[in-house]
Amino acid sequence: MTLSPGLTTEGQVFYVVSMTLSPGLTTEGQVFYVVSMTLSPALTTEGQVFYVVSMTLSPGLTTEGQVFYVVSMTLSPALTTEGQVFYVVSMTLSPALTTEGQVFYVVSMTLSPGLTTERQVFYVVSMTLSPGLTTERQVFYVVSMTLSPGLTTEGQVFYVVSMTLSPGLTTERQVFYVVSMTLSPGLTTERQVFYVVSMTLSPGLTTERQVFYVVSMTLSPGL
């Protein structure tokens, strides 16, 4: 194992530049089987959150607890994590992996610069998921989504400009199946009320609980 100079470990968090494991080893607790991993300089870890630029895992490994099997992942510089929220620019997962807890199977995702997360709300510009994955808890299957700059989230309310979902996905809890939606600038949400200028939903979707299927709607400015 090689560490980049000047990096320090906090708790059980390792700042690893490159590491190779002999085959046939098993994981115990929160031990990662990492073939190679590179960290971007000057990034810091908070809690058990890793700032990983690129990492490759040996095939056939299984996840235990909150262990991620990540093939490659890139983080935008100077982004910070809050809680267990990841600021991920792009990440690729090996196929046939399953989610445990709040583990996301994300193929690629881009975050708009300077955005911050509140609670478990993600500011996502674009994200692609590998097909055939299922949602668990509050995991969203989002193909692509763009947020207008300067918008903020309140609670679990998303300010979404445009978003596309892969077909055949079903909603769980408060998951919305939105094909495209545009918000008028400067509008704010109150509670779970959406200020929607125009939105199109894929056909054949059904509503669950508070999920609205709206084809098009226009709001007068200043509301």
**Domain range holding 156?**
119-125+144-223
Residue 149 belongs to some domain of the structure: yes
Q: What is the pLDDT of residue 94?
A: 35
- Contact between 80 and 87 under an 8 Å Cβ cutoff? The reply is yes
Residue 208 within a domain = yes
pLDDT at 125: 31
Residues 6+ apart with CB under 8 A from 4: 15, 17, 39, 41
**Is there a domain that residue 163 lies in?**
yes
Give the length of the chain: 223
What's the confidence (pLDDT) of residue 10? 34
CA atoms of 24 and 20, how far apart (whole Å): 12
CA terminus-to-terminus distance, the chain: 58
Task: Note the pLDDT tens digit of each residue in 168-204.
Answer: 333 332 233 333 333 333 333 332 233 333 333 333 3
Q: Is residue 180 part of a domain?
A: yes
Q: Where are the beta strands (DSSP E) in the chain?
A: 36-38, 54-56, 70-74, 90-93, 108-110, 126-128, 144-146, 162-164, 180-182, 198-200
Q: Going by DSSP bridges, is the β-strand pair 144-146/36-38 parallel, antiparallel, or unpaired?
A: unpaired
Across 4-14, average pLDDT: 34
Residue 150 resides in a domain: yes
Instruction: Summarize pLDDT for 18-37 with one digit per residue, the tens.
Output: 333 333 333 332 233 333 33
Rounded-to-integer distance, Cα 179 and Cα 189, Å: 20
Question: Does residue 139 lie within any of the structural domains?
Answer: no
Domain count along the chain: 1
**Residue 54 maps to a domain:** no
Residues 110-162: tens digit of each pLDDT:
333 333 333 223 333 333 333 333 333 223 333 333 333 333 333 223 333 33
CA distance 90 to 40: 14
Asked if residue 80 belongs to a domain, the reply is: no
Predicted TM-score (pTM) of the model is: 0.15
- Residue 49's pLDDT band (boundaries 50, 70, 90)? very low
